Amino acid sequence: MIRVVGLVAKYEEPKAAEMASWLVPWLKEKGKQVLVEERMVRVGGRSCSKKEMARKADLIVVLGGDGTLLSIARLVERPNVPILGVNLGGLGFITEVAVDELESVLDKTLAGNFSVEKRMTLEIRVYSKRHRPNKFRVLNDGVIAKGARARIIDLETYVGKEYLCTYRADGLIISTPTGSTAYSLAAGGPILYPSLGAILLSPICPHTLTNRPIVVSSKSTIRVTLRSAGDTVILSPDGQQGVLLNNDDVVEVRDYRVPVSLVKAPSRGYFEILRNKLKWGER
């Protein structure tokens, strides 16, 4: 039963603010309590932080692009809470619902007439001699990349207890199947069907051209040790604020085991989304 609806919006986007201004009273008319971000309080609803919304909402509606959805998805620790992503017009793979079908889809969702797709998330831990361990959860990816002026970096990589290789590259993307259509795709990685249980490793501009992307089991634990002293290297989890890595720091990645539930658009399938977003078949 959906009683509390959380609303997350790309607040600086005029279309998002316009949609939120009619959506909040529409939800209240249906007897729903509406939670909004503190910076969206002007549209009505009860103001709260994203962390509180992630704990209390029975349904979360996201008005924006994939980045806006990522900002709340990693905070939702209850896999039974559906997230409905509304694409406001940009290139989005996880915000499936179009603006003109929002009211119809949301009406059905509130009535319990909807289906979800479970998307795996990753747990990323950073171990360093210089500071306490950091822990992150991502829906898309964790990116280890050199700074603008740094040289090629060395990344000693293990899958489980087995040595994979030491990447000499501009960086390494470790992603979920959901994240395979994000930065990894731009780096030449394959597209993975989003419900697969797999982890994708895609090197960024590898010095050795035969270092190609590789897909491993979601049961694997990935350990990447930075072997480059004096270089500026950053870990960016899902595009969050970067974490500076030092020589010999270890980045450990594994399945978080708490998936995110995304409401599926009833009018289209995943392959149709790929065709439309990537312009497949066009000349």
HSE-CB of 171 using CA atoms within 13 angstroms: 21
Residue with tokens 């497949």: 280
Can you read off the two tokens belonging to residue 135?
């822990």
Beta strands (DSSP E) in 27-121 are: 33-37, 46-48, 59-64, 82-87, 97-98, 116-119
Distance of CA 68 to the CA centre of its chain: 9
**Distance between CA atoms of residues 75 and 8, nearest Å:** 12
Burial class (CB in 10 A: 0-12, 13-18, 19+), 34: buried
Q: Is residue 249 annotated as a catalytic residue, yes or no?
A: no
Q: Check 66, 154, 170, 249 and give the catalytic one.
A: 66
Q: What is the DSSP string of 117-134?
A: EEE--EEEEEE-SSS--E
Sign for the pseudo-dihedral over CA of 95, 98, 102, 104: negative
Active site residues: 66
